[in-house]
Amino acid sequence: MRSPVPLPRLHIITDTRPDADPVGVVEAALEAGARLVQVRGEDRYTDRLTFDLSRTIARLCREAGAVCLVNDAVHVAMAVGADGVHLGADDLPADAARAILPETAIVGATCRDPHEARAARRVGATYLGVGPVRASGTKTALKRIIGLDGMGAVAGAVDLPVIAIGGLDADLAAECVENGAHGVAVVSAVSRAADVKAAVGELLHAVGERAGTPAGAV
> Which residues are annotated as part of the binding site for Mg(2+)?
72, 91
108 binds, among Mg ion, ligand 3NM, ligand LCLJCK34, none (CB under 5 to 8 A by kind): ligand LCLJCK34
**d(C-alpha 27, C-alpha 180), whole Å:** 30
Q: Pairing between strand 36-39 and 10-13?
A: parallel
Q: What is the DSSP string of 142-176?
A: -----HHHHHHHHHHH-SS-EEEESS--HHHHHHH
- Contact range with ligand 3NM by CB under 6 A, out of 2-10, 29-37, 45-53, 183-191: 183-191
Among 35, 45, 61, 72, binds ligand LCLJCK34 (CB under 6 A): 72
Burial 176-207 (b: 16+ CB within 10 A, else e): bbebbbbbbbbbbbbbbbeebbebbbbbbebb
Window 33-62: contact mask with ligand LCLJCK34 (x via CB under 6 A): -----x-x----------------------
Among 88, 114, 147, 201, binds Mg ion (CB under 5 A): 88
The CA R_g of the chain, rounded to the nearest whole Å, is 15
**d(C-alpha 72, C-alpha 97), whole Å:** 10
7 binds, among ligand 3NM, Mg ion, ligand LCLJCK34, none (CB under 5 to 8 A by kind): none
**d(C-alpha 163, C-alpha 155), whole Å:** 9
Q: Could you tell me the smallest distance in angstroms from the CB atom of residue 72 to ligand LCLJCK34?
A: 5
Window 79-118: contact mask with ligand 3NM (x via CB under 6 A): -------------------------------x--------
Residues forming contacts to ligand 3NM in the complex (CB under 6 A) are 110, 131-132, 136-139, 142, 165-168, 186-189
